[in-house]
Every structure is written in C-alpha cells, then in structure tokens.
Amino acid sequence: MPLEQAHAGHYALNDGLGERWILMQPPDRQLEVLALAPALASHAPAEPAIRARAERMAYVNAPAVAAVRRVERDAAGVRIVAEAATGIRLSDYLAGLESNGTVLTYLGMLELGASVVKAVAALHRLPSGLAHGAVTPAHIVLAANGSAVLTDSVFGAALESLEWNREKLWREFHVALPASASLPRFDQRADVTQLGAVVLAIALGRRLRDDEYPRSAADLVIAATPDLAAPGASALRMWLQQTLQLHPRSPFASAVDAERAFAQITAAAAARGEAPSSSLKAPRSTRNGRAFPRVAHPVA
C-alpha cells in the first residue's frame, strides 16, 4: 500500500533521526514510517549502512526488537518502514514522571530498569554479535506486560559513518558513547554505555539534558543513588559507573554481563522489600500515592 494512504498523523521524537508517522493497515496492523533526517539522508554512506543492517536484522529472531520491513528511497528522500511497537515510549514516560512530579519507588525503578536491560541483553545474546547502536529512551517502548521493545535498530553503522565525536553525537541524537582515543565505534560496548545512560535516566526519573552528558555523568550517578543504605544501592551505583565507564573496574563486555550484575541488584532489593510489581501500571510503583502518570500514549 502506498505510504500516502491510511496516514495517521506525524509526530516528533526529538531524537535527530527524522520525522515519523504511523500507517494504519487493516485489520489492526500499524507501521511506523521514519523519513530520514537530512544530516543522514544526504550523507552518502548512511543509506547503504542502514540497508545492510536492515537486511542482517531480517535473518535474526529478536522478539525484543521491532522489525524493520523495508527501506525506501524516492525523490522525497529515504524512509524506513518498521513494525510499530505497542505501548508507551520510555522518553514519553519519563517526561510524564517529571511533569507530574511522580517519583518511582526504588523497587519500581529497578523493575523498569530491568525490563530495558533484559531487552538489550536479548539482542546481545544472539549468535550474530549484533549491536543496536541507538539505545535511548526515545527508542524503547514499554508494553503493558512490563516488557521493553527496542525500536530503530538499524542506525548504528550509519551514525558511526558520520565520524562525529561523542559530544556532537549526544547533542544531535542523545546517543551516549564511551570515551575513546579515536572516533566512537557503535558496537556492543557502546550499547552498554547507552544502556547505562538509559537506566541512569530511569533512576533520576527524567530524561538527561543536552548539557549533562558526558561532562556531568559522574555527578548524575551520585545524584541518582543518594541513599546507599537501600538494599543494593551501592551495587547500583557501581553498576552505573561500570556501564558508563566511570569506574576503574573493567566495564561490561556486553549487555549480557550487565544483565547478570543487574539481576543481583534487583534480587538483593526484592529480598529486603516487597516483590516488584508485575505491571507498569501498578500504584505501588510510586512513592507519593499516585499511579504512573497518564502521559501522551498510556500503556494499554
């Protein structure tokens, strides 16, 4: 079906990748269309890198990753058509927490973080050695059952081909990358750093700002873990420092290692408190008596 049909309206993610809209296809299928931003569409190596990654992803079984259906080019530019994940984007969810003044309980925060860690680890566990490349709150959808789905999984090599430093990549795309002697690489190690930045945002209960990374990362970790008496809190601080490569201890090689360490943190917290809730909508996941905020696209 032509892309101009069954149009359901444009919306912005403020992720730098481009403009998006939803296509409604009968009976109940939804596709997300991304018109690539000029910075990428006009960069010659970007399109073949996106196509190659999309083709590679088509042959892997990754339920935690929204499938890309096709990459198209015409006179208007380059478009990526993908399955639309059902739920609420983590970026919207964090914006709702901040605007409503809602604070997650410690266990609620760990539960939410664990769902994201699990999704990235599932991708890294595949034998193909794939990396996502753009793990940010804007590219994570939270489903009603508490699981997380990764979107926009085909941009890592394209972003790497820009040959920008990590400060500019953060400002333009909010992609966190580890410090390096040369230009950043978008591999599983980079995914781990991005995962650390996402969990840091969850722990803070808000999105990280343009001027806060990478310069203020160490201070933000301390601000996100003020109560080291909480079960597992000191381990969480170390986990964040390791994923963000702020700690002298060897960083995690992949999200699989990061997931193993995070599971120990959540287990320690659960053993000394109430069990984590089974749904992202559970009122006990808040500390001020209110349930999760009703934001732009509530969890169904």
The DSSP call for residue 289 is S
CATH architecture of 7-83: 2-Layer Sandwich (3.30)
Q: What digits encode the pLDDT tens for the residues 99-135?
A: 999 989 999 999 999 999 999 999 999 988 899 999 9
Q: What digits encode the pLDDT tens for the residues 184-211?
A: 999 999 999 999 999 999 999 999 999 9
Rg of the chain, C-alpha, whole Å: 19
User: Which sequence spans correspond to the domains of the chain?
Assistant: 7-83, 88-285
Identify the pLDDT of residue 9.
62
> What residues are paired with 21 via a beta bridge?
10, 33
Residue scoring higher pLDDT (11 or 175): 175
Give yes or no for residue 165 having a pLDDT over 80.
Answer: yes
Query: Helix (H) and strand (E) counts for the chain?
Result: 10, 8
H/E stretch holding 168 reads helix 166-173
CB neighbourhood size of 190 (10 A): 26
H/E stretch holding 270 reads helix 255-271
* CA distance from start to end of the chain: 27
Q: What is the CATH number of domain 88-285?
A: 1.10.510.10
Could you tell me the pTM of the whole model?
0.88
Residue 152, both tokens: 């926009």
